[in-house]
Structures are given as C-alpha cells and as structure tokens.
C-alpha cells in the first residue's frame, strides 16, 4: 500500500474524503476508465457472444425463407441388380433372368401460389432477425448498466475505505491523547475505555469497507471477463462531474425517447410484428397450392435386347393349352443386347405440367394452426404493452430518484459541514475540559456518519443521472 494520511493530534483540519485520493494501488497497475470498462465488457462478455449466435441463426433462417421461393432442381441416379422374377423398368415386363439396372432423372419445380405463405414467412423471419439484433443491443445495454453500477460501487467503497482510514487515524490519535491524560490523572478509566471503543468501531468500519471494495472489484472483473490475476484500478470521474450532471428531466421527455431508442421496447415490437406475420402464414397454408414442374428421365437394363435377324433359330415353351395341356411355344430370333448409350437415348423421356394441391381434410390442423398463431399474436401484444408499462413506471421512478437524490445530496453537504464544524468545536471544548469523552465521541460519530452519507449520496446521484442517460440512449461515460 502506498500513500499515508497524516493527522495531527491537535489543530487537525478535516476535509471531505471525496477530495482526498488515497492511493491504494500498487505501482504499474492498469488504470481503467468507466468507458474502457464498458468497452471491454462489450468485447469479451460471453452473453453478448451468445446473443450474436442467435442473431446469426436468425439470419440463416431468413436466407432459407427467401430460398424457399426459388425454383427447386434435383437429380437422382440409381444402379442396382435384379434377381428372380422382377419387373424390368425399361421394358415393363416380368422376367426371371438377373439383370443390371441403372436409372437417372432430373426434376424442377416452382410454387406459383400458396396463399402468400412463403412471402409472409420471409416477413416473419425478417422481423425475427431484427428482434435478435435488438436483443444484442438489449444485452449490451443491460451489461452497460451493470458495469456502471459496479463501477460506481467501486468508487463509493474506495472513498468509504479512505474515510474509514481517516476516521481510524483520528480515533487512534484521540486514544493516544486519552492515554496521556489518564497517566497524569486528568481523565478517568471510562474516558480511556470510550476512546478504545471508538478505535475498535473505526477498525470494524475499515474492514467492512475493504471487503466491500474487494467484492466490487471482483464483480467488475467478472463482467469484463478479465483474469483475476491481472489487477487494475478504476479512474475517478472529473472533480466537476457532479456539477455537470443534468437532473432537470421530466417523465414524458425520457419515456418518449426511450420508446424510440431503447432496445427493450424494440425487441418486443419486432416480435409482435413477427407474430402478426405468423398469422398470415398460417392462413396462407389453408389455401390450395399451385406449382409448375418438369422432369427428364432415362434408364438402362442389361436384359434389354433387340432382334437382329428375322430367321427363326429355335423355339421356347411359354405355356400350355387349357384342358389339352398341349405345349405353346414361341419362336426364338437372333438378338443382341442394346448398348448403354442407345438405351439412355431410347428410354429418354420428358414431363412438364402443373400440380394443384387442395387441402380438404387434415385433422383440422390448418384451423388449429391459425388459432394458435392468433393466440401467439395476442400474447405478443400483451407482452409489448407490459414492457411499455414497465418502462413508463421504471422511468418515472428513475426521474423521481434523480430529483430526490439531488435534494439528499444538497442536504448531505449541509449536514456534513455542520457535523464537521460541531466536531471541531467539541474538540476545542474537550481540550479545555468543557466537554466529556461521551460528548466528543457522539460528535465524532455524527461527523463520521455524515461523511459516509455524503460519499454515498454523491455517487448515488451520479449513478441515478447516468441511468437516465441509459434510457435516453446516450453514451455512458464521465
């Protein structure tokens, strides 16, 4: 630790602790401003990265919805071997001979009409993408507010720690004086005990302030996803920061701006629009679907042959005559296998036409989907209105807090000055024997309480003012 505050036993001059900066950081530690802490959180925080993944997925969903309106083109190739009695796909005849078969086809299709379901799906996915983009901004804003609060907590606890150190120094100084007076019989054991109690109380305040400061630093470190082993110190706001704060806000002014800029509202608005498009999508799927398509097909079979001569070379039995059982024979001609290329050419065929799909009875699924989409839309309307109502209430409280804290800060300044002056007078009276130890201890405690209140109220006013900046969409910085 570096930097020590020296307090004289008598004639000490007490000043507000927010004007005394006790250096509690070690040499070479990184200094981080509020703006840098926020920027670091925006870069490294995992919640933002997760939200960006959701945004990327929504972008792919939009591409898929747009792609669904384009014609489809697909091809297929198959090769297999037939065994036993099977239908030859090239001759459409059954035979018992094994054969090698190959088939190929290309088919294209485009939807001409589907109740505008695909176009509305594109609109729906675009709104969902916008909602995810706004959600990224919402998470950024929420984290910004959390970093601001924690940063102010660090500053508050640091100044409270400095104040507690000063108060401990004063208490120790007073204890030393009491010991001297006690030795020469000018003070009683009760006076000495009172001074020891003041020291113990000041030590407890210092320990609590130190713990609170360390906890606030740890929380801020985690927000920035910073290594715990890389210490840093926060940078103070300008000395005139409290004078530059704007506290003259009105509820309507802030609320009107927040409706246009705050991502919390934009998220629910975009999701409401997406739900509205969802109703149109569900309705569209109740209409008949008209599509146009065409295809190319060809095939090959190793069993396919052609006659090369009309001269009969033999006969084969193909059955018997009913009742007489006389054999029925068929002539055998000289043949040759048809080549692969000739079969592909000979078996090549084309098809083109329209398909009209009419939903008739599907378990009432279409009507159910429409009703569900309408319920989802109604729910999104309620969610949007609730978000706006909560925003109005929160802003009203935030504006009231600014005004109330401004009054408390003005009062705290007066209270601290009065308590500090009263403590000085009591010290002077005590030194000449016109006041007892209880009276001076009460005066010291009142001064300490007033100083703690002044520190806390000062930073609370800064925080409350910055919260209004948050709702106005202003950049958060000192």
Query: What secondary structure does DSSP assign to 392-444, as a single string?
Result: HHHHHHHHHHHHHHHHHHHHHHHHHHHHHHHHHHHHHHHHTTSS-HHHHHHHH
* Contacts for 360 with CB less than 8 Å, ≥ 6 apart: none
Q: What is the pLDDT of residue 137?
A: 93
The reply to whether 9 falls in a domain is no
Q: What is the pLDDT of residue 7?
A: 30
The reply to whether 12 falls in a domain is no
Please indicate, yes or no, whether residues 190 and 256 belong to a single structural domain of this protein: yes
Task: Please tell me which residue, 45 or 441, carries the higher pLDDT value.
Answer: 45
Average pLDDT for residues 191-216, to the nearest whole number? 90
Average pLDDT for residues 385-399, to the nearest whole number? 94
Please indicate, yes or no, whether residues 332 and 467 belong to a single structural domain of this protein: no
Name the domain boundary from 318, 335, 357: 357
Average pLDDT for residues 242-263, to the nearest whole number? 86
Please indicate, yes or no, whether residues 220 and 257 belong to a single structural domain of this protein: yes
Please indicate, yes or no, whether residues 306 and 418 belong to a single structural domain of this protein: no
The reply to whether 339 falls in a domain is yes
Specify the length of the chain in residues. Answer: 478
The residue behind tokens 């890389």 is: 230
The reply to whether 138 falls in a domain is yes
- DSSP one-letter code for 364: T
Q: Are 452 and 160 in contact (CB under 8 A)?
A: yes
* 48-89: pLDDT as tens digits: 999 999 999 999 999 999 999 999 999 999 998 888 777 777
- Cα separation, 174 vs 177, whole angstroms: 5
**Burial profile 378-412: b = 16 or more Cβ within 10 angstroms, e = fewer:** eebeeebeebbeebbebbeebbebbeebbebbeeb
Report the CATH number at residue 250: 1.20.1600.10
Q: What is the dihedral of CA 241, 246, 247, 253, to 10 degrees?
A: -150
Please indicate, yes or no, whether residues 466 and 329 belong to a single structural domain of this protein: no
DSSP 32-83: E-HHHHHHHHHHH-HHHHHHHHHHHHHHHHHHHHHHTTSPEEEEEEEEEEE-
Please indicate, yes or no, whether residues 337 and 455 belong to a single structural domain of this protein: no
Q: What is the pLDDT of residue 87?
A: 75
The C-alpha R_g of the chain, in whole angstroms, comes to 43
Please indicate, yes or no, whether residues 401 and 310 belong to a single structural domain of this protein: no
Estimate the share of the chain in helix, then strand, then coil, as percent rounded to the nearest 5. 60, 20, 25
SS3 208: helix
* 93-131: pLDDT as tens digits: 777 778 888 999 999 999 999 899 999 999 999 999 999
Q: Residue 211 is part of which domain span?
A: 17-64+118-285+365-472
SS3 93: strand
Please indicate, yes or no, whether residues 200 and 250 belong to a single structural domain of this protein: yes
Name the domain boundary from 357, 376, 392: 357
The reply to whether 135 falls in a domain is yes
Please indicate, yes or no, whether residues 127 and 208 belong to a single structural domain of this protein: yes
Task: Please tell me which residue, 160 or 128, carries the higher pLDDT value.
Answer: 128
**Among 8-22, 76-90, 126-140, 235-249, whose mean pLDDT is lowest?**
8-22
Average pLDDT for residues 457-467, to the nearest whole number? 90
Q: What is the pLDDT of residue 78?
A: 92
Please indicate, yes or no, whether residues 277 and 316 belong to a single structural domain of this protein: no
Name the domain boundary from 337, 357, 377: 357
Give the Cβ contact number of residue 70 at 10 Å: 9
Name the phi and psi angles at 372, rounded to 5: -65, -40
> 344 pLDDT band (50/70/90 cuts)?
confident
Arithmetic mean of pLDDT over the chain: 85
* 123-143: pLDDT as tens digits: 999 999 999 999 999 999 999
C-alpha distances (whole Å) from 461 to each of 19, 204, 406, 467 are 17, 27, 6, 10
Q: Are 17 and 451 in contact (CB under 8 A)?
A: yes
- Domain count of the fold of the chain: 2
Q: What is the pLDDT of residue 315?
A: 67
Please indicate, yes or no, whether residues 129 and 202 belong to a single structural domain of this protein: yes
* 37-56: pLDDT as tens digits: 999 999 988 999 999 999 99
Q: What is the pLDDT of residue 445?
A: 81
The reply to whether 271 falls in a domain is yes
C-alpha distances (whole Å) from 358 to each of 114, 290, 366 are 10, 9, 12
The reply to whether 326 falls in a domain is yes
Please indicate, yes or no, whether residues 77 and 147 belong to a single structural domain of this protein: no
| Helix or strand (DSSP H, E) at 22 | none
Q: What is the pLDDT of residue 386?
A: 96
pTM: 0.76
The reply to whether 478 falls in a domain is no
- Cα separation, 207 vs 203, whole angstroms: 6
């Amino acid at each position: 630790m570096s930097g020590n505050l020296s307090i004289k036993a008598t004639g000490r001059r007490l000043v507000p602790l927010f004007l005394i900066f006790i250096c509690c950081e070690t040499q070479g530690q990184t200094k981080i401003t509020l703006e840098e802490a926020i920027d670091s959180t925006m870069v490294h925080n995992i919640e933002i990265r997760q939200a960006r993944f959701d945004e990327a997925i929504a972008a792919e969903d939009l591409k898929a919805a747009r792609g669904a309106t384009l014609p489809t083109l697909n091809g297929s190739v198959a090769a297999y071997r037939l065994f036993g009695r099977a239908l030859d796909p090239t001759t459409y005849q059954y035979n018992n001979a094994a054969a090698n078969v190959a088939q190929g086809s290309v088919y294209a299709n485009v939807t001409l009409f589907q109740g505008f379901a695909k176009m509305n799906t594109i609109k729906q996915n675009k709104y969902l993408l916008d909602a995810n983009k706004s959600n990224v901004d919402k998470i950024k804003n929420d984290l910004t507010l959390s970093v601001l609060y924690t940063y102010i907590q660090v500053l508050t606890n640091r100044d409270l720690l400095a104040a507690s150190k000063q108060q401990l120094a004063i208490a120790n100084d007073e204890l030393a004086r009491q010991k001297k007076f006690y030795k020469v019989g000018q003070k009683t054991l009760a006076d000495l005990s009172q001074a020891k109690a003041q020291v113990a109380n000041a030590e407890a305040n210092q320990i609590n302030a130190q713990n609170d400061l360390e906890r606030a630093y740890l929380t801020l470190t985690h927000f920035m996803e910073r290594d715990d082993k890389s210490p840093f110190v926060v940078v103070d706001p300008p000395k005139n920061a409290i004078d530059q704060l704007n506290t003259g806000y009105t509820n309507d002014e802030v609320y009107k701006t927040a409706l246009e800029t705050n991502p919390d509202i934009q998220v629910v608005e975009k999701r409401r629009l997406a739900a509205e498009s969802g109703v149109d999508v569900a309705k569209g799927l109740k209409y008949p679907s008209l599509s146009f398509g065409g295809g190319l097909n060809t095939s090959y079979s190793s069993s396919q042959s052609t006659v090369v001569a009309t001269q009969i070379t033999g006969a084969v039995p193909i059955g018997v005559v009913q009742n007489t059982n006389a054999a029925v024979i068929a002539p055998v001609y000289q043949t040759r296998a048809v080549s692969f290329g000739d079969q592909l050419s000979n078996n090549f065929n084309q098809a083109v036409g329209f398909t009209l799909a009419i939903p008739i009875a599907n378990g009432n699924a279409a009507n159910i989907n429409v009703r569900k989409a309408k319920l989802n839309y109604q729910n999104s309307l309620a969610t949007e209105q609730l978000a706006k109502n909560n925003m109005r209430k929160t802003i009203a409280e935030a504006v009231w807090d600014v005004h109330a804290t401004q009054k408390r800060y003005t009062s705290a300044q007066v209270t601290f000055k009065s308590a500090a002056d009263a403590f000085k007078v009591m010290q002077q009276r005590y030194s000449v024997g016109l006041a007892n130890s209880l009276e001076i201890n009460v005066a010291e405690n009142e001064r300490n309480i007033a100083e703690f209140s002044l520190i806390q109220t000062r930073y609370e006013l800064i925080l409350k003012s910055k919260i209004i900046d948050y709702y106005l969409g202003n950049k958060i910085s000192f």
